[in-house]
């Protein structure tokens, strides 16, 4: 049904207009407690075999929505009701900003991909905090992804992230430092260990100071050289971070300017996951994202050492029931193999880290 709607109608409409209409509809749904609860009962993962615990947080299923869809924390509850095991909101910056000029979101239907150069359009950390403080009608695990405000120079980046962290860490189930989006000039330079160390250390101090100690992760680009992936992994261990999210979109493509997501990203995303697992073993939680489309993909990432898996582009092509269908299919496969998600994690990964 969604495929028909997509091929006949949605793909002919402006991608960003469809996106905003969807977020508005989901935000409206978030205000309708009964419908939200009914949907949650029908669609949210409920099989105990799907449950997984990471950095002290309980997730009802391993598949979550990647950052960039719910940039302003407007509809996380509705997304949870549609079957996502967690929702990563953001990227949120300390100050509100409009992002890049439109058009800035493009579908590449043939390759099952998307290119975006949104540029962190969002209403800022205070507005997001107000939304996150609203009481919740259905259970939802919310990760909060923070980034640098565009006009803030690199030399003041750490202070800018700290402003967002102070506002949002107390409201987050986990916090993510995003240094890997390609659409804020210079942002990815912050992945260099000399710049990343003080930045992560400063945000960690804030995350550690919340009443529950908020888990902290860093999100990296697929375009890092292998040695740099290792260097970030070592740094994450050194600083006592909780995990790494790999990967963001890639700039290695020949289409519109911007970051490419979806199927073409799959191979490199898995490669980075395997590399990270070989380096850190189970000492960090690895969250795998990039080109996840179906149950096979989730299964493969879990075996390769991911504790959690995320997707965004898959939902654009498969529709709102995407996460629910994957969790259901995963549940059936787990039963056939008489196993559970926690038992699968890292089963095909190399024995132990050398690091
Ligand atoms: C339209 C769009 C906007 C995105 N915005 C963000 C963002 O604000 N912050 C972020 O960390 N990642 C962002 N991403 C990257 C996704 O979170 C994810 O890492 C990437 O798309 C790969 O996953 P996928 O192939 O399942 O889409 C965005 C992706 C898309 C398609």
Pocket of ligand 1 (CB under 6 A): 66-68, 71, 90-91, 105, 114, 116, 118, 120, 145, 178, 181, 219, 248-249, 261-262, 265, 289-292, 311-314
Give strand pairing partners of 262.
113
Substitution candidate for ligand 1 out of 19, 23, 68 with most atoms within 8 A of CB: 68
pTM: 0.96
Distance, CA of 222 to CA of 288 (rounded, Å) = 11
| Contacts for 271 with CB less than 8 Å, ≥ 6 apart | none
Q: What are phi and psi of 262, to 5 degrees?
A: 95, -160
Residue the block writes with tokens 């804020």:
184
DSSP code of residue 187: G
> How many Å lie between the centroid of ligand 1 and the Cα of residue 66?
6
The answer to whether the beta carbons of residues 270 and 303 sit under 8 Å apart is: no
Question: Distance of alpha carbon 83 from its chain centroid, rounded?
Answer: 15
pLDDT at position 350, please?
Answer: 72
Active site residue 261: no
Relative to the CA of 289, which ligand 1 atom is closest?
23
The answer to whether the beta carbons of residues 88 and 145 sit under 8 Å apart is: yes
Give per-10-residue mean pLDDT for the chain (355 aa).
Answer: 73 80 88 91 97 98 97 93 97 96 92 94 96 84 96 94 98 95 85 88 98 97 94 96 97 91 97 97 97 98 98 94 97 97 90 48
The answer to whether the beta carbons of residues 224 and 248 sit under 8 Å apart is: no
Q: Between β-strands 243-246 and 285-289, what pairing exists: parallel, antiparallel or unpaired?
A: parallel
By the 10 Å C-beta count (0-12 exposed, 13-18 middle, 19+ buried), 103 is classed as: exposed
Residue 176, helix vs strand vs coil = strand
């Amino acid at each position: 049904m969604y495929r028909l709607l997509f091929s006949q109608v949605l793909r002919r409409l402006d991608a960003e207009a469809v996106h905003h209409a969807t977020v508005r509809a989901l935000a409206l749904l978030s205000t309708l407690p009964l419908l939200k609860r009914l949907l949650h009962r029908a669609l949210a993962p409920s099989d105990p075999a799907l449950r997984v615990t990471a950095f002290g947080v309980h997730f009802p299923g391993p598949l979550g929505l990647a950052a960039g869809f719910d940039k302003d924390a407007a509809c996380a509850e509705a997304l949870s009701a549609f079957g996502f095991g967690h929702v990563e909101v953001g990227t949120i910056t300390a100050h509100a900003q409009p992002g890049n000029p439109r058009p800035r979101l493009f579908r590449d239907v043939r390759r099952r991909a998307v290119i975006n150069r949104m540029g962190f359009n969002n209403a800022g950390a205070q507005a997001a905090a107000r939304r996150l403080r609203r009481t919740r009608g259905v259970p939802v695990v919310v990760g909060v992804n923070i980034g640098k405000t565009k006009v803030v120079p690199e030399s003041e980046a750490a202070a800018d992230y700290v402003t967002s962290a102070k506002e949002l860490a107390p409201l987050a189930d986990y916090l993510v430092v995003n240094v890997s989006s390609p659409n804020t000039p210079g942002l990815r330079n912050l992945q260099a260990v000399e710049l990343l160390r003080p930045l992560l250390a400063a945000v960690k101090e804030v995350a550690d100071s919340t009443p529950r100690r908020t888990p902290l992760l860093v999100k990296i680009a697929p375009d890092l050289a292998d040695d740099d992936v290792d260097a970030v992994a070592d740094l994450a261990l050194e600083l006592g971070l909780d995990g790494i999210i790999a990967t963001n979109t890639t700039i290695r493509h020949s289409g519109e300017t911007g970051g490419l997501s979806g199927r073409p990203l799959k191979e490199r995303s898995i490669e980075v996951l395997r590399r990270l697992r070989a380096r850190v073993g189970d000492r960090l939680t690895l969250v795998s994202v990039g080109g996840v489309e179906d149950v096979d993909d989730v299964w493969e990432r879990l075996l390769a050492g991911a504790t959690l898996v995320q997707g965004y582009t898959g939902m654009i092509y498969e529709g709102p029931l995407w996460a629910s269908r994957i969790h259901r299919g995963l549940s059936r496969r787990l039963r056939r193999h008489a196993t559970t998600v926690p038992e699968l994690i890292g089963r095909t990964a190399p024995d132990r880290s050398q690091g």
